Amino acid sequence: MQYQVPWIFHLSYDHKKREMKIMFSNQFAQDNHMDSNTMSLDDDQIKLFIHKYDYRKLEYFVSQVLPNPFDTLMRFSIPSQKTYIRTQAVCHVEQQHLMCVLFDEKTIFTLQKISDSQAIIDAQSDLEKIESANQATRFLKHLNQLIHRQER
């Protein structure tokens, strides 16, 4: 069986410039009545957008040598939501530049409950518009590992 997993946004954090670029999926932008699918944030704006504990993760991850994709919980604040959006981020770091594809934590949890070990998890095809085909494949492979390693 194959499941489609909608990503909610792509994050690109440049540690040297202390800037973050966000690209929201079309569906997420539409559901949250956003005027634009993209957002650029300076360091002060990043601190308002991302949960304070997750902001610390940005600094930690860019200082590490991590050759493979990894995942982490991240929380974000957007005006249309009363509480933080909880996401599961699949990330990689290149030269102090953090890039992540973020998925709704509830979606990941649901898939962990219903998927069997043979299920193939795929994300929306427009992921390749943001990342190279090779990197998109690496993200999806890690997403599959994330879902299957925590099977219940």
Number of domains in the chain: 1
pLDDT band, very low/low/confident/very high, at 151 (cuts 50, 70, 90)? very low
Domain with 47, as residue range(s), is: 2-149
Each residue's pLDDT tens digit, 72-106? 999 999 888 889 999 999 999 988 899 999 999 88
6 or 126: which leads in pLDDT: 6
* Separation CA 51–CA 129 (nearest Å): 27
Q: Which residues pair with 88 in a beta bridge?
A: 73, 103
DSSP bridge partners of 92:
99
Is pLDDT of 112 > 60? yes
> Residue 91's beta-bridge partner residues?
70, 100
Q: Look up the CATH number of the domain holding residue 59.
A: 3.30.450.20
Give dist(CA 90, CA 120) in Å, integer.
Answer: 17
